[in-house]
Structure 1
Amino acid sequence: MGKIIITGVDGNFGGYAARSIMKKVPLHNLIFTAPNKKVLEEFAAQGVETRYADFNNPEQLKEAFAGGEVLLLISMPFVGEKRRNAHKAAVYAAVAAGVKKIVYTSIVGSGDDSCDSYEKFDHQYTENYILTTPLKYVFLRNSQYAEAMISAFEEAAEATGVLTNNMGEGRMAHVSRNDCAEAAACVAAGAGEDNTVYYISGPTANTMEEFCAIGSEVTGKKVTYQYVSDEENYAFFDSLGVPRRTDGEWAETAKAFPFCSEGMVTFGAAIRNDKMSYCTNDFETLTGKKPKSIREMFEDIANYRVGKRTSTD
């Protein structure tokens, strides 16, 4: 196997995937890239080849990806046209640099034209663009990170004891972000079949009421779920100063609010409308391990909070 390139090793997902793959393949077969040179220095000190990567500059990306055979493209932390352009630049550069295969971290709902999630459109755009290239591919369509909802649970527990959103009775097989990163590292290292779509999910698909009941039982903090309409959900995020989209000054705003309300509200609506309830054993197929359950994550809650999100443009 030729060299494996991993993008975004300065992020939560990319950092975990990087540390995981270092245990799976010889270090001389790895190339880690990121826009954060300080983080790259940490990996370089451990013997990994590192390269600065500017996703707004396709020509520079060709240099960053040169000599690689497999590219793990971790989706960018912003939403909308900016992300689509960055992903397109990365795929273009991969082809131009001679990369043979791309592993892309996508999302549940991608490939379903009836799913109206704002965030899904970026992933579907990227998947479709990859399909126009000669690259072999693996699409990892990840379920919603449990860490995000665990953090929402804790916030509710410290406030009113009520977790509100617009997901209603929809089901989501919440999965650990680390499990998603582990699956990505395994595939980049050679697991799975080429030209295949995998759905990376937790072991059960739960409603928000069930999610809160598990959290309440495990933590001893009583949190109930309350459905609110899409309009009410937007108003709530507006009151907190959460931006509707990730345009303009989002990178600065994201230090306090790492998500945009357009993404969260339409994502919640997609869950409510049963567009994202995929629950598979693909994680176990790719990794040989069982995915963490909601209960297990609440039992180890200190290690399953969403944390800071990299907002580099």
Structure 2
Amino acid sequence: MTKIILTGVDGNLGAQAAKYLMKLTEHKNLVFCGYSKEALQKYADLGIETKQTDFNHKEGLAEAFENGSVLALISMPFVGEKRQRAHRNVVDAAKEAGVQKIVYTSLVNAGDPTNPSKEKIDHAYTENYIINSGLDYIFLRNSQYAEAMITSYYSFAQNGGVMTSNQGDGLMAYISRKDCAKAVAYALLAYDLHYRVVNCNGPELMTLGQFIEIGNQASGNHVVYQKVSDEETYQAFDAMGVPRTTDGKFQEHSAAPYSSEGMVTFGQAIREGKMDLKTNEFKKLTGSDPLTVKYMFEHSADFQIGDRHSLDN
């Protein structure tokens, strides 16, 4: 029979999606792809077919995707032409291999040309490339991971207790990365869902100030929120050693394993009301309610952003 292909199982989101998939369908139905032999081995030991893949190069990808009916493309963590090229390679190879549908992890409001997020550019590009390929698709447009902000919250709590951001009073329906992974698993098995955008949002819209207050109540900390400009936010990330673009060098175990350009323009988008979307589409897809920020703070050890996983060359 044709297989369900999950890429990026050596990354944070992909590994979590793999856990859900292994519970939802038989192992014989699955193919897991990643660039790390070590990460793939544990799945091979469970009897799951694995393929070592490098999306930076198209060679060998079509062979890896053979006999697949649907493929989840977990978006790469770098930004710009490198990511666009890697995503093109996957889409082209999937089509060549006879894959019929792609599930792609995108970004909330990716289709809005006025959205200033630098991250959004690559997501919009990839969505359009998939559409123009003629393949069936499900685009999972995810709100911001709550884990990113919870990790940041505790970093600020340990370093002066003042959390700065350029988000202003913009609204975001923060969602757990675990829920985004669950959406990937269910989308791969949604055989009756075609040519669809699914917005994956958390259960409540809130400002960063409200997010911080929930953290304070759950943890007993007294972090305060200070609104700052875009340039001040860049300077704060510079001081933390965060690279401005994904071409820079990332520190291990960083509380901010992203480029500051991506984060600052993301904060600008929130401030300008470009991310204030809340729907019940996640529950329609998965049958379950998304986790609340309160729950995640109360179990914060399980909701940290983790290390950066990528192979971009």
Aligned to 1:163, the other structure's residue is in SS state strand
Aligned to 1:102, the other structure's residue is in SS state strand
For residue 20 of structure 2, what is the aligned residue in structure 1?
20
Please tell me the residue identity of whatever aligns with 2:9: V
For residue 198 of structure 1, what is the aligned residue in structure 2?
198
For residue 304 of structure 2, what is the aligned residue in structure 1?
305
For residue 86 of structure 1, what is the aligned residue in structure 2?
86
Please tell me the residue identity of whatever aligns with 1:222: H
5 Å-filtered alignment, 1:229-240, equals 229-240=229-240
Q: Is the 8 A contact 1:6 1:72 kept in 2?
A: yes
State how many pairs are aligned.
Answer: 311
CA distance in 2, matches of 1:18, 1:50: 12
CA distance in 1, matches of 2:117, 2:252: 20
5 Å-filtered alignment, 1:85-124, equals 85-124=85-124
CA drift at 1:66:
1.0
Q: Deviations over 1:120-160 (max 9, x none)?
A: 00100000000101210000000000000001111111111
Aligned to 1:279, the other structure's residue is in SS state coil
For residue 162 of structure 1, what is the aligned residue in structure 2?
162
For residue 187 of structure 1, what is the aligned residue in structure 2?
187
Q: Deviations over 1:74-108 (max 9, x none)?
A: 00111111111100110010001100000000001
For residue 273 of structure 1, what is the aligned residue in structure 2?
272
TM-score (norm 2): 0.97
- Report which stretch shifted further, 298-307 or 259-268: 298-307
Q: Is the 8 A contact 2:253 2:306 kept in 1?
A: no
CA drift at 1:305:
1.0
Please tell me the residue identity of whatever aligns with 1:157: A
CA distance in 2, matches of 1:155, 1:288: 34
Asked if 1:41 corresponds to 2:30, the answer is no
Q: Deviations over 1:140-195 (max 9, x none)?
A: 00000000000111111111111101000000000000000001101102266210
Please tell me the residue identity of whatever aligns with 2:279: T
Q: Deviations over 1:31-66 (max 9, x none)?
A: 000000111111000010000111122131111111
Aligned to 1:112, the other structure's residue is in SS state coil
Q: Is the 8 A contact 2:145 2:175 kept in 1?
A: yes
Please tell me the residue identity of whatever aligns with 1:123: H
Q: Is the 8 A contact 1:147 1:176 kept in 2?
A: yes
For residue 68 of structure 1, what is the aligned residue in structure 2?
68
Structure 1 gap segments, 5+ residues each: none
Aligned to 1:58, the other structure's residue is in SS state coil
CA distance in 2, matches of 1:243, 1:217: 32
